[in-house]
């Protein structure tokens, strides 16, 4: 084989190898970026779910009570609190 042809083949091979290395580096970068984006996405999702859970716990329903039932419940709660206070005073 002539030296001219050999040098051409070598040049072409080097160019192809360099192109492959660039492609590989680019793909590695994309993979790393995707991995970090995935971690960030998971963090965001967990934060959003935590906020949703706490928001769901804080919601209170308004009871649909008649005035008589409201008075009844109020008296029951006051009696319970009075008993609790009496028990606490008895222990001290």
Residue 32: inside a domain, yes or no? yes
Residue 18: inside a domain, yes or no? yes
Task: Count up the domains in the chain and report the number.
Answer: 1
Does the pTM of the predicted model rise above 0.75? no
- 10-41: b (≥16 Cβ within 10 Å) or e: eeeeeeeeeeeeeeeeeeeeeeeeeeeeeeee
Residue 55: inside a domain, yes or no? no
Predicted confidence (pLDDT) per residue in 18-67, tens digit: 998 888 888 889 888 888 888 888 888 888 877 776 666 667 788 889 99
Residue 52: inside a domain, yes or no? no
Q: What is the DSSP letter of 27?
A: H
Is residue 73 within 8 A of residue 65, CB to CB? The reply is yes
In this predicted structure, the answer to whether residue 8 has a pLDDT above a threshold of 70 is yes
Residue-number span of the structural domain to which 21 is assigned: 3-43+66-91
Residue 51: inside a domain, yes or no? no
Lookup: tokens for 29: 């970068």
Residue 61: inside a domain, yes or no? no
61 three-class SS: coil
Residue 26: inside a domain, yes or no? yes
The pLDDT score that the predictor gives to residue 54 is 67
* Close Cβ partners of 65 (under 8 Å, ≥ 6 residues apart): 73
């Amino acid at each position: 084989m002539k030296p001219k042809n050999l040098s051409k083949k070598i040049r072409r091979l080097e160019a192809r190898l360099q192109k492959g290395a660039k492609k590989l580096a680019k793909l590695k970068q994309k993979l790393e970026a995707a991995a970090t984006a995935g971690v960030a996405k998971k963090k965001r999702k967990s934060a959003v779910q935590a906020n949703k859970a706490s928001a769901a716990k804080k919601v209170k329903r308004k009871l649909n009570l008649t005035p008589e039932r409201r008075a009844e419940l109020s008296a029951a709660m006051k009696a319970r609190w009075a008993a609790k206070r009496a028990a606490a005073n008895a222990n001290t």
